[in-house]
Amino acid sequence: MAKPVYSDPSVSLYARFLEQKRAINHSNGKEAPLEDISNILYPFQRQLVQWALRKGRSAIFADTGLGKTLMQLEWANLTEERTLIVAPLAVAIQTVQEAKRLGLEVTYARSQEQAESAQIVTTNYEMLSAFEASAFGAVVLDESSILKSIDGKTKDRLIAMFAETPYRLCCTATPAPNDIAEFANHAAFLGICTREELLAEFFVHDDDGWRLKGHAKEGFYRWLASWAMMLKHPQDIGFTQTGFVLPPLSIEPVWVNGNAQAIANASGRLFLTDLGGITGRSAARRTTISEKVAAASEIINASAEQWIVWCGLNEEGRTLEQSIKGAVNLEGSDSLDVKVDAIQRFIEGGIRVLVTKTKIAGFGLNLQHCHNMLFLGLNDSYESYYQAIRRCWRHKQANPVTVKIVMAEIERSILENVMRKEKQAEEVSRRMVESVAGYEMEALGLMTHAKNDYLESVVHGEDWTLYQGDCVERLQNLEASSIDFTVFSPPFLSLYVYSDSERDIGNNKAEHEFFRHFDYFLNGMLRVMKPGRNVACHVSQVPSTLVRDGVIGLKDFRGKTIEAFQRSGFIYHGEVVIDKDPQAQAIRTKSKGLLFVQLKKDSSWLRPALADYILVFRKPGENAVPIKPDISNNEWIEWARPIWYGIRESDTLNVAEARSDKDERHIAPLQLGTIERCIRLWSNKGETVLSPFAGIGSEGYQAIKLGRKFIGIELKEKYADVAVQNLQKAEFAKSQAYLL
């Protein structure tokens, strides 16, 4: 690689800008030596506490039984801030008891008044409105997945309530990788980013809904590991910790017969062929209560051990309480005191059989003293099923866990649906934990992640040079005032993102970040251009979206690009509008403002197609070598018009060979006809044409064919490889023309 001939003191500033641009959450907390963290915690737990303290605002997504309560208590202690721990129902009471193992005193309170003299306070989510966030310097959300299940107003109030709290910690089980609500709500609560920013940076919406962008996966995992630790076992973050192997789990369906005609009648149908939707499912559940209760009672009454029974209807719970010896039924209408007392007595062995619903006791509680569980029917929610089983089947459970699922034969499809979801969730969750592990261990300081996705290379031809690399840095390889003409199409804000690299100007979180990056590039461009010579920049206006911008409309990318060039010292010289086909654009973009259906529905949404622009800028100074273009007067009459017609949108180099399976959008090369006009107008034969965003080499292809020299810069390796091929093709075609 050639050494830079120009030493720019702003390079270090650029390096710092790239570091800030990387999609990571920087530390806002305090350092604590591992030896200062209680040795009651396992080594992996101490490492996580140290990391969470350093981050200040973070999440621990750890599987059930991995000690999240102990970790959050030690974290609260070491912040030395007055801390509020918010937890579901009886989990708050368990937190008080768990704190004694660490020698800490935690006060359970239901109001600010009850918490006044306490350093560490715990309460229930239901009581949160009775507290003042400003009284606490740290807050913990235990079982923070509740952020997804509570209603929108409550969630927004919770996020706003602790927006200024310096230390924030969320603890819950490992979320699914496609659970955008889970990540978005946690990131919003911790002040990492908004849902809109998360979607815009890492996700794309298609016919199947939101999914991770192909090229963004590694960036997403790196970003996630900068504020969240995700593990199902200590070995996921490099610890060979013993004692964290789950015991055997036995799941046994128990089938009962139901009156098919009664179910059909209850669901409003003449005959029962399948459950159908919600109405059929509800009818099957209501009309088979007696059969299910009889089967459940027989199983549990034949056992002397403790059981927890999950039901879905109040009638189910009340009938079970009457049919099972030693059963206590908890309903949603019971007071908080009644619920807490019953759950505590069940934990202590005072209640043999606890009957309740998953939304009451299915989240957060440690019920591993019990190893027998029964579901009286199921709904289609995998999450409630998973959480309920995990109350007993968790790390540190000493016995094999038995789960009975009592269902009517007609409900078999519900169980199959839940089992399918379970298998899928386990597979994708494990894959995600494995993907993020390296970044997590790097964040914990346990290893250095070896991946370096930034590559540089240079390939020379007879009349061309193609640099692979960052255009801001690669411009420093060029001599000052050495370029006769530049033509290029930059990324349009974040509309086209082709890599997860922070060096990709199109890969940015917001418009202001794009133009900060663009400024670094333009400063280098001004340096390499000859005085009095031109730069032709191809742009288009950029649509704004509800997800990213909050409104459907347009951004004035053209105007802000002009401002950026002028800010860097260029003179705004002129512009050309390139005519576009509105029907082709409507088919390609499916824009609401161009569709025929909108013409009939509400034309207030209609707008003209988006034109392309060639913006022309001149470097200050006198041009030393006059440009004498090889164009006729008639051609100039046509090209001098403010609008260029006759540019075929399909007149481009083939891009299929440059696409990778991670690309979310086709690269949109500039039309060869547009490039030809620009090169012929603003350069002489034999002069050097530059494209700092070379893509697949369209500008170079035309420059060589038109008798110019070419220098190109391209960040992405795949595109650079194809650009070299296209430049070689142009070079060969030119040599053949000479032979003729």
For every residue of 159-227, DSSP letters joined together read HHHTTT-SEEEEEEPPPPTT-HHHHHHHHHHHTS--HHHHHHHHEEEETTEEEE-GGGHHHHHHHHHTT
Asked if 467 contacts 477 with a C-beta cutoff of 8 angstroms, the reply is: yes
Task: Tell me which of 566 and 206 has the higher pLDDT.
Answer: 566
CA-closest candidate to residue 61, choices 139, 125, 142: 142
Confidence at residue 671, expressed as pLDDT on a 0 to 100 scale: 93
Task: Look over the chain and give the mean of its residue pLDDT values, rounded to a whole number.
Answer: 86
Strands (E), 143-274: 167-172, 203-206, 209-212, 228-231, 249-256
What is the pTM assigned to this prediction? 0.68
Please count the residues of the chain. Answer: 740
- Of 565-579, 615-629, 664-678, least confident by mean pLDDT is 664-678
Q: How far apart are CA 204 and CA 666, in angstroms?
A: 14
Residue 184 has, within 13 A of its CA and on its CB side, a CA count of 21
Confidence at residue 664, expressed as pLDDT on a 0 to 100 scale: 40
Confidence at residue 526, expressed as pLDDT on a 0 to 100 scale: 98
- Of 28-32, 66-70, 170-174, 570-574, least confident by mean pLDDT is 170-174
C-alpha angle 222-227-233 in degrees, rounded to nearest 5: 80
Averaged pLDDT, 648-676: 68
* Secondary structure class of 345 (helix, strand, coil): helix
- Could you tell me which CATH number the domain at 22-237 has? 3.40.50.10810
Averaged pLDDT, 401-407: 95
Confidence at residue 41, expressed as pLDDT on a 0 to 100 scale: 94
Q: Evaluate if residue 1 carries a pLDDT over 70.
A: no
User: Residue 605 is encoded by which pair of tokens?
Assistant: 């949404």
Q: Evaluate if residue 265 carries a pLDDT over 60.
A: no
Task: Tell me which of 409 and 90 has the higher pLDDT.
Answer: 409
Where do you find CATH 3.40.50.300 in the chain?
A: 249-434
Confidence at residue 447, expressed as pLDDT on a 0 to 100 scale: 63
Q: Evaluate if residue 444 carries a pLDDT over 90.
A: no
Between β-strands 209-212 and 203-206, what pairing exists: parallel, antiparallel or unpaired? antiparallel
- Of 172-186, 223-237, 288-302, 623-637, least confident by mean pLDDT is 172-186
Phi-psi region of 337 (alpha: psi -120 to 50; beta: other; left: phi over 0): alpha
Residue 121 phi/psi, 5-degree rounding, is: -120, 140
Between β-strands 209-212 and 249-256, what pairing exists: parallel, antiparallel or unpaired? unpaired
The residue with tokens 């519900």 is 414
* Secondary structure class of 672 (helix, strand, coil): helix
CA-closest candidate to residue 312, choices 380, 409, 256: 380
Task: Tell me which of 552 and 52 has the higher pLDDT.
Answer: 52
Q: Is the CA virtual torsion 662, 664, 666, 668 positive or negative?
A: negative
Burial of 462 from C-beta contacts in 10 A (0-12 / 13-18 / 19+): exposed
Confidence at residue 495, expressed as pLDDT on a 0 to 100 scale: 47
Q: Evaluate if residue 633 carries a pLDDT over 70.
A: yes
574: Cβ–Cβ under 8 A, 6 or more apart, which residues? 616
Residue 317 has, within 13 A of its CA and on its CB side, a CA count of 19
Confidence at residue 275, expressed as pLDDT on a 0 to 100 scale: 60
Q: How far apart are CA 146 and CA 144, in angstroms?
A: 5
Number of H helices, E strands in the chain: 27, 26
Confidence at residue 656, expressed as pLDDT on a 0 to 100 scale: 39
Confidence at residue 738, expressed as pLDDT on a 0 to 100 scale: 60
Q: How far apart are CA 289 and CA 375, in angstroms?
A: 12
Q: Evaluate if residue 548 carries a pLDDT over 80.
A: no
Strands (E), 435-509: 457-460, 464-468, 485-488
First to last CA, the chain: 37
Averaged pLDDT, 346-361: 93
* Secondary structure class of 436 (helix, strand, coil): helix
Confidence at residue 318, expressed as pLDDT on a 0 to 100 scale: 95
What percent of the chain clears pLDDT 90, i.e. is strictly above it?
51
Between β-strands 307-310 and 372-376, what pairing exists: parallel, antiparallel or unpaired? parallel
Give tens-digit pLDDT for 471-504.
Answer: 999 999 999 999 999 999 998 875 444 566 888 8
CATH class of 249-434: alpha beta
Confidence at residue 6, expressed as pLDDT on a 0 to 100 scale: 39
Phi-psi region of 445 (alpha: psi -120 to 50; beta: other; left: phi over 0): left
Averaged pLDDT, 118-124: 94
Q: Evaluate if residue 426 carries a pLDDT over 90.
A: no
Three state DSSP letters for 275-322: CCCHHHHHHHHHHCHHHHHHHHHHHHHCCCCCEEEECCCHHHHHHHHH
Q: How far apart are CA 574 and CA 639, in angstroms?
A: 13
Confidence at residue 118, expressed as pLDDT on a 0 to 100 scale: 93
Averaged pLDDT, 689-705: 96
Averaged pLDDT, 373-378: 93
Confidence at residue 189, expressed as pLDDT on a 0 to 100 scale: 94
620: Cβ–Cβ under 8 A, 6 or more apart, which residues? 531, 532, 569, 570, 571
Q: How far apart are CA 8 and CA 14, in angstroms?
A: 10
Q: How far apart are CA 552 and CA 543, in angstroms?
A: 7
Confidence at residue 595, expressed as pLDDT on a 0 to 100 scale: 78
216: Cβ–Cβ under 8 A, 6 or more apart, which residues? 201, 202, 203, 497, 500
Q: Which CATH number fits domain 462-537+559-576+614-739: 3.30.1310.10, 3.40.50.150, 1.10.10.10, 3.10.180.10?
A: 3.40.50.150
Averaged pLDDT, 500-529: 89
596: Cβ–Cβ under 8 A, 6 or more apart, which residues? none
Confidence category of residue 25, pLDDT binned at 50, 70, 90:
low
Name beta bridge partners: 355. 309, 329
At 21, which amino acid appears? Answer: K
Q: How far apart are CA 442 and CA 371, in angstroms?
A: 38
Where do you find CATH 3.40.50.150 in the chain?
A: 462-537+559-576+614-739
CA-closest candidate to residue 217, choices 714, 667, 661: 661
Confidence at residue 5, expressed as pLDDT on a 0 to 100 scale: 37
Give tens-digit pLDDT for 579-631.
Answer: 988 777 777 667 777 778 888 888 888 888 888 999 999 999 999 999 999 89
Give tens-digit pLDDT for 713-738.
Answer: 999 998 999 999 999 999 998 877 66
Residue 425 phi/psi, 5-degree rounding, is: -65, -40
Q: How far apart are CA 253 and CA 247, in angstroms?
A: 20
Averaged pLDDT, 401-411: 91
Q: How far apart are CA 22 and CA 4, in angstroms?
A: 25
